[in-house]
């Protein structure tokens, strides 16, 4: 099923980029983001492979709890709420409308948990841009195949756009203007997670 595929591929991409994410977080944070997420997504893979869950919402809630329990840091509860909220609308068979609704829920979850708005140089910027791009594409009649490209491209552009921003949330906010010129680690990991999603939806 796409959910297990997504979790396995996301975990693989995070593991492959562990050092890259650690490096980004070393520059504007405390160098643990790659380690936190690698640990968390490995735990998620263990969870989905053993979970005997037929209810999609329950499965996503379990993924969310696993992330909160194993990622730690600021990002654990943020990703946790994103997954729990996506599960409220996710289904075994996806449609463009459901994909758009899932991304909207993720955005709502991160926003509420992080008290964050657009432009604060966080993971939120990536989830919001992808949700906006997908909603726009769905309004224009895009099918799932087209959405895959929309997700992948908008995630890359949005993560890149955090480079020029000043961090005003999380640990990076202490560095203020000194964060300019560096990509936000949570934006980079969100790009990887959403690109993995784009490859697994069908
Ligand atoms: P910590 O900052 O506790 O070490 P991580 O390194 O795992 O946690 O995650 C840092 C990432 O979390 C940041 O790069 C940013 O994207 C995200 N983040 C931190 N605080 C917030 C917030 N309030 N709202 C949204 N995202 C946030
Ligand atoms: Mg950190």
Q: Domain containing 141 — which CATH number?
A: 1.25.40.340
Which ligand 1 atom sits closest to the C-alpha of 32?
Answer: 6
Share of the chain above pLDDT 90, in %: 97
Average pLDDT of the chain, as a whole number:
97
* pLDDT of 52 higher than 90: no
What's 167's DSSP letter? Answer: P
- Name the domain count of the chain: 1
What's 117's DSSP letter? Answer: -
What's 166's DSSP letter? Answer: P
How far, in Å, is the centroid of ligand 1 from the Cα of 95?
A: 31
Which ligand 1 atom sits closest to the C-alpha of 30?
Answer: 4
Tokens for 201, please give them. Answer: 């939806």
Instruction: Look at the block and give the residue holding tokens 């491209």.
Output: 153
What are the φ/ψ torsions at residue 155 (nearest 5 degrees)? -65, -40
Nearest CA owner, ligand 1 atom 22: 114
**What are 105-164's pLDDT values in tens digits?**
999 999 999 999 999 999 999 999 999 999 999 999 999 999 999 999 999 999 999 999
Q: 130 is in which domain, residue-wise?
A: 2-200
Counting ligand 1 atoms within 8 A of each CB, the residue from 170, 171, 182, 194 with the most, and so the one to mutate, is: 170
Q: Report the C-alpha gap between 96 and 181 in whole angstroms.
A: 35
The CB of 29 under 6 Å from ligand 1? The reply is yes
Asked whether the beta carbons of 96 and 136 are under 8 A apart, the reply is no
Among all bound ligands, the one having the nearest atom to the CA of 127 is 1
**Rg (the chain; Cα; Å):** 16
Q: 22 by DSSP, 3-state: which?
A: helix
Q: What is the pTM of this model?
A: 0.98
Q: Report the C-alpha gap between 45 and 154 in whole angstroms.
A: 26
Nearest CA owner, ligand 1 atom 19: 170
Q: Report the C-alpha gap between 23 and 30 in whole angstroms.
A: 9
CA nearest neighbour of 168 among 115, 129, 127, 128: 115
The CB of 186 under 6 Å from ligand 1? The reply is yes
pLDDT confidence bin for 53, thresholds 50/70/90: confident
């Amino acid at each position: 099923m796409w959910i297990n595929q997504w979790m396995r591929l996301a975990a693989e991409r995070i593991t492959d980029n562990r050092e890259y994410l650690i490096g980004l977080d070393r520059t504007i944070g405390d160098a643990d983001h790659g380690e936190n997420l690698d640990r968390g997504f490995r735990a998620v893979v263990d969870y989905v492979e053993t979970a005997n869950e037929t209810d999609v919402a329950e499965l996503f809630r379990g993924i969310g709890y696993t992330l909160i329990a194993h990622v730690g840091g600021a990002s654990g509860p943020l990703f946790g709420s994103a997954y729990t909220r996506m599960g409220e609308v996710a289904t075994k068979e996806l449609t463009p409308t459901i994909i758009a609704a899932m991304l909207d829920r993720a955005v709502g979850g991160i926003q509420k948990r992080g008290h964050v708005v657009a432009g604060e140089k966080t993971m939120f910027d990536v989830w919001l841009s992808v949700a906006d791009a997908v909603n726009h594409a769905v309004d224009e009649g895009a099918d799932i195949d087209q959405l895959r490209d929309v997700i992948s491209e908008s995630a890359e552009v949005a993560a890149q756009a955090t480079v020029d921003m000043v961090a005003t949330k999380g640990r990076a906010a202490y560095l203020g203007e000194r964060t300019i010129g560096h990509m936000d680690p949570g934006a980079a990991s969100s790009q990887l997670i959403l690109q993995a999603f784009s490859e697994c939806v069908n």
